[in-house]
Chain A
Amino acid sequence: MADIGLKQAAAGPDLTEAFRSPVSRPPSAWQKNFDVAFKYVAHAFGAGVVLLLGGVVFEVMRHAKTAMADYGLRFLTTSTWDANRAEFGILAEIVGTLYTSILALGIGGFLGITVALVLSQGFVPRRMELVMKNVIELLAAIPSVVYGLWGIFVLVPAVRGPAGWLNEHFGSIPFFSTRLSGPGILPAALVLSIMILPTVTAISREAMAAVPKRLAAAAYGLGATRWEVIFKVTLPTAVGGIFGALVLGFGRALGETMALAMLVGNANVFGLSLFSPGNTLAALLANHFPEAGQVEVGALMYAAVVLMLITLTVNALGSFLMLRTTRELKGLG
């Protein structure tokens, strides 16, 4: 068929024989229109994602307007939350949010990258790799509330002993300066780090697996050990993806609500101590919305705006830094 078509094409413009084949028929008007319509629908949905975020931002801002005008910057520098006197400040919550999230990023990020290395660099047999990967991914399937319960029933009793020992012997160090009475910054950060672990692992594993094998092979050929290859070839090449994984994990940690509302202690204080109770913005929102009156809702919306600003800043900074780090590595693949 194709042969005949070719001959005729060479002979002249008469292509009727070729057009009889369904494959070589030009697209009908309907098909063309469908293609164009599909393209526009896809664009519309893409824009829909942007509109969704814009809608949330707009709606939250609209409700926060009054409180923002009333409280101004004082809201960000005080830390009383008293609905009866209409005194609101979220300094403790801002510090608590950043503190728990950075701790969680440190622990969960380190563990996540290590697990990703083990799962991508041939440390364990293929079948074992698959099992471990699924176990780690299942961590993401556990609901936030269950993590909260686990924190209360298992984690807090488990860390109370070591925490008490640290406080007794190293109490002069600010990080260990109080006793862990129950919920607090440390259990919250630990649970948070477990919650961001699957995200960090999955994304950085993909980045490491995408590093061209010949780069590692070349380093092995020069006599490098496995970890020399990892530190000098794999990690530097995959740094863009790993960084993206960390930013995404940090973003999730900032917004995590239920487990933190159960574990962080909900005290409007802040200090360096890992064992003292604290509060985070998301936990504040979750705890106060059910009983909030008109004025308090406004203040809570203001807190929501601040939280959104933090999340947006982190993501924007992450995207910007990622663009800069990956630009240098372009063309390596």
Chain B
Amino acid sequence: MANAVSNLPASSADKTSFRRSLGEPRTLVNTGLTVLAVGLSLLAMFPLFSVLYMLLVKGAALLSPSLFTELTPGAGMEGGGIGNAVVGTLVVVLVATAMALPLGFMGAVYLAEYGGDTKLATVVRFCGKVLTGLPPFWRVYSRTRWWWSLPARSARSRAGRRWPS
């Protein structure tokens, strides 16, 4: 807590009043809260590194090029990879983005350019917020509406399993 003022020759008694000392309650509270806040921020960043560390420790040994190219093995089989899952993830993300982007982007354009404080804009904003909090109901659709489950069905029939109706 060295202050520039404290380095000056303390010829005048007035200058001591510019000095910051932890003995003063306001300064003490201020410094304490700063230390606490920075400490909590570092604590908040810890999980990211912990997750990465866990993934590396548990998964690095199996990391190889074939992991990304081969299919998932059957039960009790050696080798194999997650190639189908990688491709599946990419396809799903691409299709989902293609569906969500126009709606999300144009919705944002509407809110920014035309919406303002109108009633529709307020409702749109509210619905957007609610949609972020909705749990994944897609399971519901894939079980109750056959066309939602077409991709899953074809995958299952290829795997030779009967789809419960």
Q: A residues within 8 Å of B by Cβ? A: 39, 41-43, 45-50, 52-53, 56, 59-60, 63, 111-112, 114-115, 117-119, 123-124, 132, 135-136, 138-139, 142, 146-147, 149-150, 153-154, 194, 197, 201, 225-228, 247-248, 251-252, 254-257, 281-282, 285-286, 289-290, 292, 297, 300-301, 304, 307-308, 311-312, 314-316, 319
Please state if A56 and B139 are interface contacts (CB–CB under 8 Å).
Answer: no
Asked if B27 is at the interface of the complex by the 8 Å CB criterion, the answer is yes
Closest residue of chain B to A229 (Cβ to Cβ) is B30
Please state if B129 and A315 are interface contacts (CB–CB under 8 Å).
Answer: yes
Would you give 10 A-B contacts (Cβ < 8 Å), ordered by A? Answer: A39-B114, A48-B107, A50-B123, A135-B45, A194-B47, A252-B133, A254-B133, A297-B144, A316-B126, A319-B126
Contact of B143 among A248, A257, A297, A314 (CB under 8 A): A297
Nearest Cβ in chain B — how far from A294, in angstroms? 10
Number of A-B contacts (CB under 8 A): 168
Asked if B34 is at the interface of the complex by the 8 Å CB criterion, the answer is yes
When distances are taken between beta carbons in the complex, the residues of chain A under 8 Å from B10 are: none
CA separation between A154 and B58, bound complex, in Å? 12
Contact of B37 among A49, A117, A252, A301 (CB under 8 A): A117
Contact of A41 among B106, B126, B133 (CB under 8 A): B106
Nearest Cβ in chain B — how far from A71, in angstroms? 18
Please state if A47 and B135 are interface contacts (CB–CB under 8 Å).
Answer: no
Please give me the 9 A-B residue pairs with the lowest Cβ-Cβ distance, nearest first: A251-B133, A45-B106, A46-B110, A42-B110, A282-B135, A225-B30, A255-B135, A53-B127, A255-B133
Please state if B139 and A124 are interface contacts (CB–CB under 8 Å).
Answer: no
Please state if A150 and B51 are interface contacts (CB–CB under 8 Å).
Answer: yes
